[in-house]
Structure 1
Amino acid sequence: MHPPPDSSTAPRAALADGTGALPPAIRAGTRMTVETTPDGTVVVGGEIDSAGAPRLYRILRAALDRHPEGIRLDLGGVTFCDCAGLRAFLTARAAWEAHAARASRHRRLAGHAAPTPRTPFTLGPTSPRMTRLLVLTGTGGLFSPPERGRSQ
């Protein structure tokens, strides 16, 4: 009886272009697209997985730094999101909450009582798969529903 072939290198060897690199469609992190618009909308498309989640987290944090009042998420083009992708959203949200709590304390100490939004994320268009993930994980309530007058 022969041992099974080592499948960890078989796909790489079969797909390599001679340089040992995988084609762009197979490389980690190339299936997700993220664009931030000037108004603070973060448009995410494709597959959010463990390879792209760190990049998504950095982009969300940068958008929240520029728009501390909150950002709009357009997830209409998301075709897949694993736990690492969901963690990117939740970790960015937690970091924003910690920052907002500190800023709120400073405002109160200075005699200003500006309200802090409930959540940094307002949902825009959301794909059926992303909606299902938010419902199944019970995390949908951590995002504000779409704003009135905006299409979804």
Structure 2
Amino acid sequence: AHPMDLIAVDAGSVDPGPYYLATRSSFTSLPHVVRDLRIMVEGFLKQQGQGHPCKLIVGSAGGCGTDNQLEILTEEVLAMIREIGGQDVAAATKVATVTSEVTDPAILEGRELTPLGPMPGTVATCMEAAASAGSDSCAVV
């Protein structure tokens, strides 16, 4: 096998993404995400076992990218590392997570909003707010 520097996947989507961000749900089932992620974790551990300083990155936390999804996927990855590589490998594996959710005060602070349609011009009445890059991607629930 060739040495690898990185095994990565960006598991998010700008198509249904904002809806799933706002509803805090995933557009994929956890068993399917875990099945696919296992292949990556096995490759990562194989590279590590051969002395290659390979990194494993999962963008959008396997789907919608919310903090709760990030926690779930982090636990799944750690469980796989313990199962496949053993407790010593798991203890030696460094894990970093980057959260992306913002709090309501950060969203509301000093922002005047123009409604996109027949809705209030504020996010204060929304259950959850989500946004994504691009001119056509927006969902507020």
What TM-score comes out, normalization by structure 1 length? 0.35
Q: Relative contact order (alpha carbons < 8 A, sep ≥ 6): 1 or 2 greater? A: 2
Q: Which has the larger radius of gyration?
A: 1
Structure with the higher fraction of residues in strand conformation: 1
